[in-house]
Amino acid sequence: MRLGILSDPHGNAAMVRRSLALLDARGADAFIVCGDIGGLHVLEEFVGRRCWFVWGNTDSPEPTWRAQVESMGLPWPDGPLDLRIESKRIGVFHGNEKRFAEAYKQAGFDYLLFGHTHRPHDSRAGDMRIVNPGALQRVRVPTVALLDLKTDDLEFIEVT
């Protein structure tokens, strides 16, 4: 399983579309968005794709959005995610949550994914790999990441 990881599109659906094209070309099977989505129009880019996402600190989801998100075939996030994919435990946060700092310290995930800082990041805490794909907006060089869960290979990809 190859995961395309995106963060911080801040409403730029065109940038998400370009990112998905790049990730598709590299064989992404599923996608994770680490928050600051910027609206339902951005989530529409993921229709028909296997995708999970979290809200970020600049997102203000309306209660009425839940039905729309679920009608797109996307799971509604009630907070940070604790996913099991291909026998890997993956935590997905935006990065500003109090629980993110706790998850970082506990090192209980195989992968801890986050956004918020707008900077690509790859490190380890014990056996846990911590990844920030960078951002799609409010950066000089927009980036996403592709993570192969089978091989543990990670690639940062510039979005032009």
- pLDDT tens digit sequence for 6-33: 999 999 999 999 999 999 999 999 999 9
Which residues lie across from 31 on neighbouring strands? 4, 51
Task: Report the candidate in 69, 99, 70, 59 with the shortest Cα–Cα distance to residue 82.
Answer: 99
Report the Cα 12 to chain-centroid distance in Å. Answer: 15
Which pLDDT score is estimated for 98? 87
- The Cα–Cα gap between 75 and 52 comes to 6
Q: Which residues touch 25 (CB under 8 Å, ≥6 apart)? A: none
Domains of the chain: 2-158 (3.60.21.10)
pTM (whole model) above 0.85: yes
- pLDDT tens digit sequence for 75-126: 999 899 999 999 999 999 999 998 998 888 887 999 999 999 999 999 999 9
- The Cα–Cα gap between 157 and 15 comes to 13
Which pLDDT score is estimated for 17? 98
